[in-house]
Chain A
């Protein structure tokens, strides 16, 4: 298969993730969408790696997974903390940082 398919799939996944972040208000779903965007990036990295013929892109993908895992830990931790303090699980309600 030519590289275009992979890139198109990756772009679609990224767009889906981005749209999800923009329109959903639940922090859990936003986190999931973030993962989707990261993995879209991973897909593109692996595809290009195959195309070029070396392993650097794949190594990058692994690194991105590690970062994604960390990010999930922090994000879920935040969500649990929000839940524990009986705050609304809605990013539009949590806007104390308004300047």
Chain B
């Protein structure tokens, strides 16, 4: 079978899984639904490997294939096919998405066990994977938009999975609305592309673009900026990032899969996919790089101040995606994707470990309450540590190689990009700091009440079922989290998934060690041959210098965190007192929510209120009431005649005819 045939199977399996689970949820027990969901994604992963093997059997420059099943829409001058495009980039994304998804499905089998909405969860999850695969495999912009919107919907459905929690449903709406803003940008970009180039197909667009557009022309800049709106909204970059921390209201596997490993990297994929266009619009690419840099720094500072375990990791996700966006925007395509892959491993792992800890805490997420989990949950703690080390770019872990490859490229490109590299290293320090802040506060020390309960009885602590955000009482029926919680130590599917991801987080970087091997870049780079930026390579010496700096910064960050939160716990409070405004800024998330509320939400509401009180009342109501008054007034006139007296009707009839007859008689004579 050809690579495209395997790719179609990759696309088909999750869709079948989703449909099968949602149609048969009454008939099959929960275990079977979980098994079907996991098996569908697992098989898709195997098919993705088959596609990769097929692709590897070809010449590096011939490894791109378009395949279409049928015409999606065909009209004058418009021919949209239901087609996929399989090349190194989409194969890579396919592998990352299906691989990580399989493990997260496996984790969910354990984690969601007692939840009443088990079937629904797996059906949604499979649908999400299908949408994400559609997004990365689409062969034209129309199908890309379809996948893009499906992914947004799946995210909405899964954030609001516990639909009786008001906070969760509101977070879902927020995510959906901001994603739709991004969708609009993407759709407008596609319109512009079609107007200028007359086609939606990737191959034709990228072949024609350099001929039609001059470098830096305003149309191509506009197209790229609109694409960026889509990419920023999906990838939670400033100023479209506020939905991501709120999205942590969803179940932890969802945070792990959608809001860390896959969906939020769609923006990175989009920029890498349309790199030909971005090469022609250097202004747009630089804007993207700056936004990425700003996001990685700002999110890093917020993550230091967050006390909610999952939200802190969510800000870390934003920050890491900032690295990727910066990378693919300045031309470090393969490097950005490398970081995407390693990030998927270690961030999914961090969320899984966090989920396990939150389960042990009876759904509490506040790190101020947590301590001493090293003694209570050895495996989970180990995995949190592994994920944290990779995130903090500890030497020889995966994050170490991937993050520094981006920064080394930025340095090699020179000019203002050197400053971006420096900003990236500052971000790396923040990363190590906030990661190990979490670890030093959660793992060591005297076990907290919940951890002690686990050590003493071997059973999980069960508090009253509450919403951790609002302290509202809940029950364990459908629409709320299930009654029992599950930790990795007591559930083998969770442990297996975490162990495999932990392996990836530690060792995945070794496939791409400067000067030693070149597995990933060697595979990916032919996909970017049409951009001269991809030809820039930092020398091996420069890369190792960067790695040394990165490693030192990472160790410095970890040491600082150790000093602040483990060695002298009084220091952070002193810092908070001393630098009150800075702390306020970070803990209030740089007031982005408030700014958006002030600049967009309030004016929109005020416009709405004005429309309601003035336009609606006087113009619309005036029209409607006026019409009604006219009709009923005319009716009132005619009503008088309808007296109900048959004889008066007869009189009118006869008088009328008599009148008519008289008229004709008189007029004829």
In the assembled complex, the CB of B644 is this many whole angstroms from the nearest CB of chain A, namely 3
The stretch of A38-46, A62-70, A80-88, A89-97 that contacts the partner chain = A89-97
Q: Which residues of B contact A99 (CB under 8 A)?
A: 638-639, 641-644
- Is A92 a contact partner of B645 (Cβ separation < 8 A)? yes
In contact, A22 and B642 (Cβ under 8 angstroms)? no
A97 near B654 with CB under 8 A, answer no
A51–B504 CA distance with the chains assembled, in angstroms: 115
A41 nearest CB across to chain B (Å): 12
Is the Cβ of A22 less than 8 Å from the Cβ of B643?
no
B647 CB contacts on chain A under 8 angstroms: 21-23, 25, 91-92
Check A95–B654 contact: CB distance below 8 A.
no
User: Which of B638, B644, B651, B654 is the one whose CB lies under 8 Å from A98?
Assistant: B644
Q: For A72, list chain B residues within 8 Å (CB).
A: none
Whether a CB of chain B sits under 8 angstroms from the CB of A18 is: yes
Give, as a whole number of angstroms, the nearest-CB distance from A22 to chain B: 6
Q: In the bound complex, do residue A97 and residue B642 qualify as a contact, i.e. CB atoms below 8 Å apart?
A: yes
Of the candidates A22, A25, A30, A96, the one whose C-beta lies within 8 Å of that of B651 is: A22
* CB pair A18 B643 closer than 8 Å: no
Q: Are A95 and B644 in contact (CB under 8 A)?
A: yes
Report B-chain residues with C-beta under 8 Å of the C-beta of A18. Answer: 654
| Min CB–CB distance A34 → chain B (angstroms) | 10
Within the complex, what minimum Cβ distance (angstroms) separates A72 from chain B? 17
- Nearest Cβ on chain A to B643's Cβ, whole angstroms: 6
- B646 in the interface (beta carbon within 8 A): yes
Cβ contact of A91, chosen from B638, B642, B646, cutoff 8 A: B646
B653 CB, nearest partner CB in chain A, Å: 9
Asked whether B666 is an interface residue with its Cβ less than 8 Å from the other chain, the reply is: no
Interface residues contributed by chain B, number (CB under 8 Å): 12
* Residues of B with C-beta under 8 A to A92: 645-647
Cβ A98 vs Cβ B646 within 8 A? no
Residues on A with C-beta less than 8 A from B644 are: 95-99
User: Does B650 sit at the interface, judged by CB under 8 A?
Assistant: yes
What number of A-B contacts does a CB cutoff of 8 Å give? Answer: 34
In-complex Cβ contact of B654 among A22, A30, A91 (8 A): A22
Residue interface bits A17-33, CB-to-B below 8 A is 1, else 0: 01001110100001000
Q: How far is the CA of A18 from the CA of B651 in the complex (A)?
A: 9
Q: Which residues of B have CB within 8 Å of A91?
A: 645-647
Specify the chain B residue showing the minimal Cβ separation from A33.
Answer: B650
Minimal Cβ-Cβ distance residue in A for B640: A99
| Alpha-carbon distance A97/B648, docked complex (angstroms) | 13
Which A residues are in CB contact (< 8 Å) with B654? 18, 21-22
Contact B643 A95 (CB under 8 A): yes
Write out the residue numbers on chain A whose beta carbons fall within 8 Å of the beta carbon of B642.
97-99
In the bound complex, what is the Cα–Cα distance between A99 and B639 (angstroms)?
5
Of B641, B642, B645, the most chain A CB neighbours within 10 A belong to: B645
User: Cβ of A23: which chain B residues have Cβ within 8 Å of it?
Assistant: 647
Q: Are B645 and A95 in contact (CB under 8 A)?
A: yes
Residues of B within 8 A of A30 (CB): 646
How many whole Å from B48's CB to the nearest CB in chain A? Answer: 75
Q: In the bound complex, how far is the Cα of B661 from the Cα of A18, in angstroms? A: 15
Residues of A within 8 A of B638 (CB): 99
Q: Which residues of B contact A94 (CB under 8 A)?
A: 646
**Most chain-A CB neighbours within 10 Å: which of B639, B642, B650?**
B650
Question: A25's closest neighbor in chain B, by CB?
Answer: B647
A87 nearest CB across to chain B (Å): 14
Q: Report yes or no: A22 in contact with B650, Cβ–Cβ below 8 A.
A: yes
Once the chains are docked, how many angstroms separate the CA of A97 from the CA of B646? 9
* Contact residues in B for A21 (Cβ distance below 8 Å): 647, 650, 654
Report chain B residues within 8 Å CB of A96: 644
Q: Chain B's nearest CB lies how many Å from the CB of A44?
A: 13
Report A-chain residues with C-beta under 8 Å of the C-beta of B646.
30, 91-92, 94-95
**In the complex, A21 Cα to B645 Cα: how many Å?**
12
Roughly how many angstroms separate A59 CA and B286 CA in the complex, as a whole number?
97
Q: State how many angstroms separate the Cβ of A75 from the closest Cβ of chain B.
A: 12
Q: How far is the CA of A18 from the CA of B639 in the complex (A)?
A: 25
Apart from the given pairs A22-B647, A99-B642, A99-B644, 16 other A-B contacts in the complex at a CB distance below 8 Å = A21-B650, A21-B654, A22-B651, A22-B654, A91-B645, A91-B646, A92-B645, A94-B646, A95-B644, A96-B644, A97-B642, A97-B644, A98-B643, A98-B644, A99-B639, A99-B643
29 A-B residue pairings within 8 Å (CB atoms): A21-B647, A21-B650, A21-B654, A22-B647, A22-B650, A22-B651, A22-B654, A25-B647, A30-B646, A91-B645, A91-B646, A91-B647, A92-B645, A92-B646, A92-B647, A94-B646, A95-B643, A95-B644, A95-B645, A95-B646, A96-B644, A97-B642, A97-B644, A98-B642, A98-B643, A98-B644, A99-B639, A99-B642, A99-B644
Leading 10 A-B pairs by shortest Cβ distance: A99-B642, A95-B644, A98-B644, A99-B639, A91-B646, A21-B650, A97-B644, A18-B654, A22-B651, A98-B643
